[in-house]
Structure 1
């Protein structure tokens, strides 16, 4: 299998972190995760994380700094602290690589850092803040 780096965004507002709900019925799994996805050819990690934020939660962001690097099944996973305009509201976006009936993004929500302190990604974010 080809290695594909991925990125994710920690978007924090008022001690809350924005997460997306993914439902993968064919794999019989669903979960909350940070907005993110694969880095495309010719794209920097920072460009990728800003694109993913726009696609998944419809926000314009700025990658402030790398928080941590982890591994996932296809390679490295980079998590960035991303700031967004406080006046912008997040909305559920789409995965442009999937057709309308194949979409796995099913919801978005702001969770307090305390609520998600035991989530693997969020616990790493908290440790880096």
Structure 2
């Protein structure tokens, strides 16, 4: 089981790029990761965001649970925080408008990301390849 944070700030969401030292390297995803023993999914979400980005988050609200993955809608505890990446896990970050998410590169678990952002009322501009991955008809 894993947990992921959809962190919103000024109508943008935070994506991190997985480092070369991880599986699925080079792919962009929400901050997150595995749930430890005796840890709730929300606690894991807060911990993983802190470990990977050094950010403190709050207001974690479960948006969806898909195939053992928990997706939480989160906000920053303090708008003035600086991101400091854990480079063995992620090597870059971007604040991106959800409608432009495909412009950043390969999105890890695009089908799930599309479902999550759509459920949060975000519109995403899809190209033909993304439509095929997601399973939408052209």
TM over 0.5: yes
Query: 1 or 2 for the larger relative contact order (CA 8 Å, sep ≥6)?
Result: 1
Q: For 1:78 and 1:28, how far apart are their aligned partners in 2? A: 19
Specify which structure has the higher proportion of strand.
Answer: 1
Q: How does 1:1-129 map onto structure 2 within 5 Å?
A: 5-24=1-20, 29-71=25-67, 76-94=68-86, 103-116=88-101, 119=107, 120=110, 121-129=112-120
RMSD (CA atoms): 2.4
- The TM-score normalised by the length of structure 2 is 0.71
Structure 1 residue runs of 5 or longer lacking an equivalent are 96-102
- The TM-score normalised by the length of structure 1 is 0.76
Choose 23-32 or 60-69, whichever is displaced more.
23-32
Q: Is the 8 A contact 2:22 2:89 kept in 1?
A: no
Specify which structure has the higher proportion of helix.
Answer: 2
